[in-house]
Amino acid sequence: MGSDPGPAREAAVAAARRSYGKLVAFLAARTRDVAGAEDALAEAFASALANWPERGVPDNPEAWLLTVARRKMIDEVRLRQSGEGAAEHLALLAELAQGEDGDAHIPDDRLALMFACAHPAIDAGIRAPLILQAILGFDAAAIGSAFLVAPATMGQRLVRAKTRIRQAGIPFRVPGQADLRERLGAVLDAIYAAYAEGWDDAAGTDARRRNLAEEAIWLGSLVASLLPQEPEALGLLSLMLHAQARRAARRDAAGAYVPLDQQDVALWDAKLIGDAEALLRQASALDGIGRFQLEAAVQSAHVVRQRTGRADWPAIERLYAALEALTASPVVTINRAIAMSETAGPQAGLQLLDTLAADARLADYQPFWAARAGLLARTGATQEAAGAYQRAIGLERDPAVRQFLQRQREALAR
């Protein structure tokens, strides 16, 4: 009991990190109203911040939040009772009220919600962003940044998709085998986008993204355990574990950014690498090959540096060529250009990179300018390289990476 808001706020933040998606999934699975579940949960968190400082943090914060959110949804459903929809609203009331006194254990419906968001009735381009928002609470701005879409546009698309789920009566359940593969791609894309958001916060200083990488790995493990015969599910988990194994090597003792080819391999997590390699072997024994298996294989080719002192660049370049043919992604082409510079020289890599110069999506994409700057520097075009570095520096949000790029630019003069 007390009025200090600090412990209450910390408890609310911890509950959001642990259980946001679980609570939204529980509510939405019973109402098919994802937006309503999100709104009710937001109000429940607001109530917690007003209530807990005075009355104390409850023994089970998640159950408290669920009870408040559920009652708010019940109130909202009652307001909508009228005419032909009355029977449906009464059914929703009964579903929401069921088990209200026994919330100590909250069923985990996250996987069912993920597949609902990936239903064929939802536009393919919005399925992965919708999963990110519903399960992990990303806002439209963060999702738009990840998918190169303006925040306002992304927000409108998300609203339409949630409305579609409710109006179409899309069921919240893991689909049968016949439909599962069709919808798996969107689920895996969303998990990887979530991991990428957490991976970008290398120092762990962003409260919103802290533990996000671990959460994505958990979701990936869940899908892989459910679908052990799906090579892409195994490939994604392998890819994330390979990346996670290098997490401690991405910053030096002073917090400075360390690029992959300069990382101390002794800091790489051998157990995670072993797990990732085993998953990749398991995937390769199954029929079919896809994006995540190929990307995991790229990481495996980098791991060779532990034994030989040098990554297997010819293999990396071939793998990126296969990925390029599969995805037609400019991001893949950027990485292939870097690999090609190691196998055929920087001029060859620069020529490939120049094929992307007219792609408007890359005008404000930092990795394109950083890659271009590095290749220009290696060809001796120092003035052009300095300009590209300056563009990359201006686009970079991570202070450590920005300082690294600044050092690279300053080295040109020497």
Q: For residue range 255-314, what is the model confidence (pLDDT) as tens digits?
A: 999 999 999 999 999 999 999 999 999 999 998 899 999 999 999 999 999 999 999 999
Give tens-digit pLDDT for 204-224.
Answer: 545 445 467 887 898 899 889
- C-alpha 384/C-alpha 267 separation (Å) is 35
What residues pair up with 251 in beta bridges, in sequence order? 257
Domain ranges (residues) in the chain: 316-414
Give me the DSSP letters along 327-392: H--HHHHHHHHHHHHHHH-HHHHHHHHHTTTT-GGGTT-HHHHHHHHHHHHHHT-HHHHHHHHHHH
Give the residue carrying structure tokens 């003035």: 383
Could you give the residue ranges of the DSSP H alpha helices within 169-246?
A: 177-200, 212-226, 231-245
- The residues, ordered by sequence, that sit 6+ positions from 152 with a Cβ below 8 Å of its Cβ are 140
pTM greater than 0.85: no
Cα-Cα-Cα-Cα torsion 193, 197, 199, 205, nearest 10 degrees, comes to: -170
For residue 336, pLDDT over 50 is answered with yes
What residues pair up with 352 in beta bridges, in sequence order? none
Mean pLDDT across the stretch 330-356? 96
Around Cβ 59, how many Cβ atoms within 10 Å? 8
Q: Judge: domain 316-414, CATH 3.40.50.300.
A: no
Query: Which of 106-115, 204-213, 223-232 is the least confident region?
Result: 204-213
- C-alpha 274/C-alpha 347 separation (Å) is 36
